[in-house]
Chains A and B, each alone.
Chain A
């Protein structure tokens, strides 16, 4: 297990190094003069020289990369060209909103995805099966940015029961100090239940929007994996012993069918981090995605560099955790990997 862990950590370290190189090279891959691309055509010559110096563009490439890497390791991504704030402060400010949204979406998709998959597998070949699998196929083809807009149309316009923008009503947010940045936790810390309910209401539509595609994929994987396990002889044995169906499924089949589902859940986390960018744009959710989108639009290279490196790191760490869990649940993986 330890050697497996070391090996995985090493490969993640190398991948991150490569991502950092790509992110670093961004500035140099911009066609033409990067300084002009960033400051615009109308920038004065003095400002351009100043920027080139500030970015170290006048130094040799390896020198620039070494400095970039050194700063990045010390969580220094420089200052945003647009807001003039340190990039790391902005990431710190916007990340909790994204994390809260992503975790809520994940919880939603895992719960309902596994439930739908089990139902489809148990009632295999019936209307219920075809229905849930058709819906999940539709879910995969659905542009989530459109799904979000439709949910707004349904639940905050035709049936005005849920808010469609932001994380909390402004009036309420004035009373809540941001300690963790997670509104659900912050509101509970100050015991403001009205604000808590308000924050939950704001979270529902974005979480459903973001969680729908993972839900569809998790449902399909649960169904096929469970069906496979249900064909195993030991399940027949369990039935032969006279165990009721719910017990066979919950005690015997579920445990063994969850390993591939877990992998899919891990992969979907990466999708969620990407999908969050679209979802945040729909719901004006003040998270890392909205911030990064604005940075790309403004060609705020420093901010994009820091943001991308940060998101890629989170993504890889999540995958590492999933891999560890995966190896924990299925010992064959550990052994198999060492023999490869």
Chain B
């Protein structure tokens, strides 16, 4: 009988390999999508927005690899161009939330006291609501568009980064080298940006990588609800929404965009998980 405490070197190597492999797979997926996004005009076979009603709802063929949707647009080309939108959404939203999250978290953690209390309570309240609900409130306020969906998703994810940064800053700020730079008279902002922040990067990088995937997923969800990308745009979530009534007549039109979302999110999740392991000194 196996006892649960069994741990031999073989298993250890296997796990390590798997971890390593997940990093490679994740990075490969992301690079693949980056290449597709950059060379979209060369890869796409048709104009992604060009409707052609005479060719509607076709199956896969030599001229339309993945068939056409209900107004005759080429699904393959739409997915290729959709890569640009998704990556843009993920990167822009992540940059925005990391930027503000870092700022709020660093200020809260470094200065402490009342300021810390106010900032973190606001963050708590944002976390106290299901994220899509908060995003929907923001979309109601701003109106429906892809840009507003990106803004909504960015705001929703600020608290996560603020929390991570605050915790990291709290840990770092008591260390000797921070005290040392205080003693030699460095200003607060100098200490914060040159001494404290660079040492909080590891958890931030992990969360940011995972955050790109989460932002892509959430923005696609908003578009799927008809609250994000404008109708007709080659956005994967919106494509699913437009064609979901026709699932029986054009299965490819709803299968393919979903696989694209799944793969790109999986890529960022795999890379993020691997980075977490790699950056954690407690895991050899």
Contacts from A to B (Cβ < 8 Å): 15, 18-19, 22-23, 26, 29-31, 37, 121-122, 124-125, 130, 137-138, 140-143, 145-147, 149-150, 152-153, 157, 227, 230-231, 235-236, 239, 245, 270-271, 273-275, 277-278, 281-282, 292-293, 295-297, 299, 301, 304, 308, 311-312, 315-316
Contacts and interface: CB of A to CB of B under 8 A. Distances in A.
Contacts of A157: 247-248, 251
Interface string B94-137: 00000000000000000000000000011011001111110011
Contact of A231 (B4, B122, B226): B4
B4 A230 contact: yes
Given A245-B1, A293-B227, A316-B128, 19 more contacts: A31-B141, A31-B142, A137-B270, A138-B266, A141-B217, A146-B258, A146-B262, A147-B258, A149-B247, A149-B254, A150-B255, A150-B258, A227-B4, A277-B132, A277-B136, A281-B224, A296-B225, A297-B226, A311-B133
A273 B247 CA distance: 26
- Chain B interface size, as a band, is 35 or more
B143 interface: yes
Contact of B244 (A141, A274, A282): A282
Among B15, B137, B224, B237, residue most surrounded by chain A Cβ atoms (within 10 Å)? B137
Contact of B130 (A121, A146, A271): A271
Contact of B262 (A125, A142, A299, A315): A142
B133 A312 contact: yes
A145 B237 contact: yes
B261 interface: yes
A122 B141 CA distance: 50
A239 B225 contact: no
A231 B128 CA distance: 35
A18 B5 contact: no
Nearest to B14: A125
B225 A277 contact: yes
B244 to A, nearest CB: 6
Residues of B contacting A: mostly = helix
B283 to A, nearest CB: 14
B141 A29 contact: yes
Contacts of B18: 130
Contacts of A122: 4
Given A271-B130, A296-B227, A312-B129, A140 B140 contact: no
A10 to B, nearest CB: 13
A138 B261 CA distance: 12
A147 B74 CA distance: 23
Contacts of B11: 125
Nearest to A316: B128
A143 B141 CA distance: 25
